Chains A and B, each alone.
Chain A
Amino acid sequence: MLQLPTMPDRGGPAQPLLIVKDLKKHFPLKGGLFGAGGKVQAVDGIDFEIRKGETLGIVGESGCGKSTASRLIMSLIEPTDGEIIFDGEKVGTSALPLKEYRRQVQMVFQDSYASLNPRLPIEESIAFGPMVHGLNRSRAIPRAHDLLTAVGLAPAQFAHRYPHELSGGQRQRVNIARALALRPRMLILDEPVSALDKSVEAQVLNMLQDLKAQFELTYLFISHDLNVVQHVADRVLVMYLGRVAEVGPVDSIFDAPRHPYTQALLASRPSMDPDQRRTEPPITGDPPNPVNPPSGCRFRTRCKIAEDVCASATPPLAEVAPMHQAACHANVTASGHSLAPREAA
């Protein structure tokens, strides 16, 4: 383990790198000694796959469960239910123990400052992980320097600096270098550019594209910014209140969204054209609280085409275009929704 090699590709190119099956996380509410507490259904049964070498973008608003989902996948928190399969092996079994899985999947958070030890020079922060995994210092430090070069920070200038001596963009580069230090196969990027200025955001996004090719990575990219996701993702997954609303190839989702929520989300973007300003908000109200989510389709309380069936039955994720699925009764044949396709005779 001295060299910390990349983990071998076990399943071949056809095997999805990550499969998430019916993942659930319910947080109990504090109810006190006598009060009966409810629960927050932060993530309530999501299924998806990430293929090797692709970037899956997850979008959604606050409370949709995207951050909880990322922490579940990173196994930072215990799921209530469901399983995670990495390159064909179930995570947490003897074939793929947690420690080994955690080496292969690394995470970059939004808050670049909070994710670095303020008392360590950045080269130490980057070398820390490999040293914990058995690499000795004399090898780990030069590796850290190589990684700093890879993220565009000259080691001679930056290696000995402390996090507070760096700008937000530079710190985020260090975080990415730190995540790469264990030679992971997958990076979970949780709002990695949301705290950055636009000009710096563009630099970091370009760099992430370069690193992906250089280190043969797979990305799970979480963001609230649809433009950013459209730019970086191959496939997009839209979450609403702990469930998947729609998932599909990026062009299919952005050009022909089939879930009313995705449509509203896309129509909420500023027009970027002063002559074609938005006149009506696509939907009203805030995303509801995930403590007591609506029955049936969770979007129905804000949906313009909601009908009785939406309250009584949970819409399944149904194929609406090649590789493209949406969870809306209006797309499901004979669902009972007036806009649904009729059953073939």
Chain B
Amino acid sequence: MLKYILRRIAYAIPIALSVSVVCFMLVHIAPGDPIDAIVPPDTPKDVVEQVRKDYGLDKPLPIQYAVWLGHVLQGDLGRSIATRRPVAGDLILAARKTFVLALTAAMFGFAIGIFLGSLAAFFKGTWIDRLAVSFAVGGVSVPHYWLGMVMVIFFSVLMNVFPAMGAGPGDWQWDWQHIQYLILPALTLSCTPIGLLTRTVRGIVSEILNQDFVTTLRGKGLRNRTMMLHVVKNAAPTILAVMGLQLGYLMGGSILVETIFSWPGTGSMLNAAIFRRDIPVIQGATLVLAMFFVMLNLIVDIMQTMIDPRIVRK
């Protein structure tokens, strides 16, 4: 098993490297001379050339990449053009906040989604099923920005129960003072995972319930809770995959929600950076999010293999 895990990690390295190449190339894919993003338009030519040299932009691309990668591996993501502060430090702070938001939304969304999906599967074809499915379709269809604004208008402006903006004073803490800021964005963000999980769980569980071995289990006279264990273990690999993807998506895809609620996470940071063409920040944030995705996939893969003996782990 350990050998398998090591091999999976080895497989992930080329993926991570390709991701880093893409992030690096962002600067060069963007139209125009990357130097224009760094210096003001009316900078004298010799200063521009000096900056080009300072940033190493005069060297061939592979060398630039190697230098950049060397810095990244040492935790140096460069300096923000806008703030002149190291990107890494700001990014860690923002990522922590995003992680809090994404994880809360994910846990809530997964719990509700798995519950509704199982309910729909066990009562397939009844009104319970139809209700759960409509809820799921609503969850994936409703636009985040719209739902977020409705939430703000209703809970903050009209009812004045939750704050509308920010993540509370100072560093993040798990106390009510901070948690009250978390509730609205987390609810908004959890809509998609609720919908997707309901649909996936309903599909996979009803498929499992239709399989022959479930008849065998009933034929053995097993109690419902033992049967549930069989269903869960059979459904887990697929559901884990969807959950992994969703968590990754929540980490990266919360830009809109973070912007609406001014949640100071990587989403807001990225949003601001895009408008300022703050290339080092865009590069760093994208890289961190992408790496998170790669890691998540790795973890899901390993967990699937541990659960399902049919996945060959030679």
The residues of A with any CB-CB pair to B shorter than 8 Å are 30, 32-35
Contact = CB atoms under 8 A, between A and B. Distances in A.
A32 B11 CA distance: 10
Contacts of A32: 7, 314
Contacts of B314: 32, 35
Nearest to A31: B314
Contacts of A34: 7
A291 to B, nearest CB: 12
Contacts of B312: 30
Interface string B284-314: 0000000000000000000000000000101
Contacts of B7: 32-34
- Counting chain B residues whose Cβ lies within 8 A of the other chain, the interface size class is under 10
7 contacts: A30-B312, A32-B7, A32-B314, A33-B7, A33-B11, A34-B7, A35-B314
Nearest to A30: B312
The 3 closest A-B pairs by CB, nearest first: A35-B314, A34-B7, A33-B11
A35 B312 CA distance: 12
A27 to B, nearest CB: 16
Contacts of A30: 312
B4 to A, nearest CB: 10
A32 B312 CA distance: 10
A35 to B, nearest CB: 6
A223 B11 CA distance: 44
Contacts of A35: 314
Contacts of A33: 7, 11
A199 to B, nearest CB: 26
A34 B314 CA distance: 10
A268 B179 CA distance: 73
B10 to A, nearest CB: 8
A38 to B, nearest CB: 10
Nearest to A37: B314
A32 B305 CA distance: 15
Nearest to A34: B7
A32 B10 CA distance: 12
Contacts of B11: 33
Nearest to B14: A33
A339 B11 CA distance: 56
A160 B85 CA distance: 75
A37 to B, nearest CB: 9
Interface in B6-30: 7, 11
B169 to A, nearest CB: 51
Nearest to B11: A33
A33 B14 CA distance: 12
A30 B313 CA distance: 12
B252 to A, nearest CB: 28
Nearest to A33: B11
B227 to A, nearest CB: 30
B195 to A, nearest CB: 31
A243 B11 CA distance: 39
A34 B10 CA distance: 10
A130 B11 CA distance: 49
A204 B314 CA distance: 46
A32 B314 CA distance: 9
B202 to A, nearest CB: 26
B213 to A, nearest CB: 21
Nearest to B7: A34
Interface string B19-61: 0000000000000000000000000000000000000000000
A34 B11 CA distance: 10
Nearest to B312: A30
A33 B15 CA distance: 14
Nearest to B314: A35
A256 B256 CA distance: 81
A33 B11 CA distance: 9
A233 B38 CA distance: 83
A291 B211 CA distance: 29
A193 B7 CA distance: 47
